[in-house]
Amino acid sequence: MEQQQILDYYEKCHIDYQLIWGANRSFSLHYGYHDKEHRRHHAAVLNMNRILAQHAGITAESQVLDAGCGIGGSCLWLADNLGAQMTGVNISAYQLERARKLAKKKGLSDRIQYKEASFTDTGLESNNFDVVWGMEAVCYAEEKKEFIKEAYRLLKPGGRLVVADGFYNDVDINFKCPEEYRIWLEGWAVPDLAGQQQFQTDMSEVGFNKIQFHDVSEAILPSAVRMHLAAVLLYPGGKILEWLKIRKPIQTQNIIAANYQYICLKKEAWHYGIVVGEK
């Protein structure tokens, strides 16, 4: 997967995240964590930040690196709600421009800084962060272990890596639904998901300990269903708009992918996990 494909995807499909996912409210592009207190979509999306922050042990004294920070939704939430000092890295200048504007608008520029860089090679100081946070971004790394190595380098001794993402369920995805899986990931410009066991093995080999994996697929299921239903409803109109040259093919592929992520989830080709490890 070429880096430019990822950049094009997020620039061209940002409007869909605004219209369907409410990114203009939550400033987040990730699945929601649904529980008894957070049943509605917007609340569940923000709740994912709370759940991940609990796993990471983030406090007002924490220095946190958001690896693949998007338009800054998690940075805003963590700085505003917990008082954490945030650094966000992203390869997309398009998204970072919006992230900086949002931080300024929310009066949080003193607690949030952004850098245009790859999260596998940030150029930031070693042993400088209490938490490295990866919210549905690590899937975009061609080599997941390179991200793990960089996270380990950046963390202070005792610091934590926390990752929320999709993970495929076994070594050979071809036993599940290979074509649906391919269409889904290509539509979202994702090279591949990490294997659950391999990711934990890589963390251990790099030096992380106290590694935990939490399967939270049930908690994100309503988000997966929401995407699926939106895709089924919007695909015909989206395809017509593509024929009329009003929408881009990449936007149609995004809609198709939203359908297939649900199909693959129901076929248990992947699950949604939260992984935590300590340096």
pLDDT in tens, 191-231: 999 999 999 999 999 999 999 999 999 999 999 999 999 99
Question: For the chain, what is the domain count?
Answer: 1
Amino acid identity at 92: S
SS3 category, 82: helix
Long-range pairs of 74-77 with CB within 8 A, sequence gap ≥ 24: 74/28, 74/49, 74/133, 74/135, 75/99, 75/103, 75/108, 75/112, 75/114, 76/27, 76/102, 76/103, 76/106, 76/108, 76/112, 77/28, 77/46, 77/49, 77/50
Are 275 and 138 in contact, with CB atoms under 8 Å apart? no
The domain in which residue 235 lies consists of: 3-278
What the block records as the tokens of 178 is: 């290979």
Residue 174 has what DSSP assignment? G
At 170, the pLDDT band (50, 70, 90 cuts) reads low
Which residues lie across from 155 on neighbouring strands? 129
At 171, the pLDDT band (50, 70, 90 cuts) reads low
Cα–Cα distance for residue pair 152/30, rounded to 1 Å: 24
To 5 degrees, how large is the angle CA 82–CA 114–CA 55? 35
pLDDT in tens, 93-146: 999 999 999 999 999 999 999 999 999 999 999 999 999 999 999 999 999 999
Straight-line distance from the first to the last Cα atom of the chain, in angstroms, rounded to the nearest whole number: 30
SS3 category, 165: strand
Give the whole-number percent of the chain exceeding pLDDT 90. Answer: 88
Helix, strand, coil tally for the chain in percent (to 5): 50, 20, 25
CATH code, domain with 141: 3.40.50.150
pLDDT at 47 over 90: yes
pLDDT in tens, 250-263: 999 999 999 999 99
Q: Chain-wide mean pLDDT for the chain?
A: 94
Q: Among 75-79, 173-177, 274-278, which stretch is predicted with the lowest mean pLDDT?
A: 173-177
Cα–Cα distance for residue pair 81/76, rounded to 1 Å: 8
Tokens 């297939």 sit at which residue?
260
Which residues lie across from 272 on neighbouring strands? 166
